Amino acid sequence: MIVPSYWAEAKRTVRVDEHEITVRRFGWSDEGQSQADEHADARIDEAVEQIMSDEPTDLREPKVPYNGADGLPIREEIVARRGDAVLTRNAYGALCLNTPDVLFADVDALDDWSASAYKYTFLVYLVAYGFAAWENAELRSVSLFLLGALFVVVIVGSGWHWVLNQIRVSPKQVARKRIERFANRNRDWSMRLYETPRGWRVLVTHDTFDPRGDAVRAFFKAIETDPIYARMCFNQNCFRARVSPKPWRIGIDDHMKPRPGVWPLSADRMPDREQWVRRYERESEGFSSCRFIATIGSIMTCQNAVETVRWHDELSRSGSTMPIA
């Protein structure tokens, strides 16, 4: 995991087959801006050499903070460090805890039943109306079909949806069962379970892990971790947990300024960002980002995880009764 403090971007124009092309590369460093500049120059030298050798080479790298930044370090403002863990502010303003080896996993509990009752009611109606219209020419009317569809889908669909809600297990319960099944099959694992607005967060405490290792991939698959999160862990070679509320869940509808929130910013744009952050932090005081529910499996905890648990729970306010956002 690399979360640099200093960034630079170098560009160079070269002539290839009578055409001029511009190559851009990022550089980074924890030591200072001049070292970041030197790193960018070195990387652009390498890129130009590849182009001149007819090797497939991207002309530029995406200027994004985290999502999809394949092969690039996390490009976010560093707010604090504790040991190997780094606290950053992401592109929409929330704080994120990044760790090189303490395993976090997010499991979203998506309610895919929400529209199914209405969808299948309409399909049944469509087939039934088609047969009826085939037998009776008087029913072959678009207006009559739509009127009947509105009545059947709203009345019958609502009733079916109500019945399903009474008999089904909630998506969150289904997702939790997957996590508990994994724990039952792997009794040496120790996992802290947290509730999030959309599902669950699992913090594994008995050992440290390689974000690109087979054990992590198998774990993610077994508990059906959010695939976007799993891909980010592999690309960035770290684990990550959001530890402050999402702005739109606490009544802040405007984006963090300036847009986009890619770090670093020029000095003249910092006041707008700082003003937004002060407002966000003020509004965040009455919310948590997750809630601790239980420890599942073994009670074993490694020392690296102890420090991460302490910082995560402090930042996320997971032990409070505040609304989760």
d(C-alpha 311, C-alpha 51), whole Å? 46
Query: Do the domain assignments include residue 187?
Result: yes
What pLDDT shows up at residue 168? 60
Amino acid 204: pLDDT: 97
Residue 219, in any domain of the structure: yes
Task: Give me the pLDDT at residue 65, please.
Answer: 60
Residues 263 and 225 occupy one common structural domain: yes
Q: In this predicted structure, what is the pLDDT of residue 73?
A: 81
- Do 243 and 98 share a domain, yes or no? yes
Strand 95-99 and strand 239-242: the pairing is antiparallel
pLDDT recorded at residue 9: 87
pLDDT for residue 82: 93
Whether 202 maps to a domain, the answer reads: yes
Same domain as 230, residue 294:
yes
Computed from CA positions of residues 195, 201, 203, 204, in that sequence, does the dihedral angle turn out positive or negative? Answer: positive
Q: Which domain holds residue 135?
A: 116-167
Say if residue 155 is in the same domain as residue 244: no
Whether 10 and 105 map to the same domain: the answer is: no
pTM of the predicted model as reported, rounded to 2 decimal places: 0.77
Residue 196: how many other CB atoms lie within 10 Å? 22
Domain count, the chain: 3
94 and 16 in one domain? no
Are 99 and 31 within one domain?
no
Q: Do residues 162 and 146 both lie within one domain? A: yes
pLDDT of residue 166: 59
**Cα dist from 147 to 61, 115, 128, 290, 306, whole Å:** 54, 20, 14, 45, 62
Residues of the chain with pLDDT under 50: 68-69
**Is residue 63 in some structural domain?**
no
At 296, which helix (H) or strand (E)?
strand 291-297
Give how far the C-alpha of residue 325 lies from the chain's centroid of Cα atoms, to the nearest Å: 14
The Cβ of residue 99 has, within 10 Å, a number of other Cβ atoms equal to 27
Model pLDDT, residue 70 = 55
Count of C-beta atoms within a 10 Å radius of residue 26: 22
Last residue of a domain, one of 167, 188, 203: 167
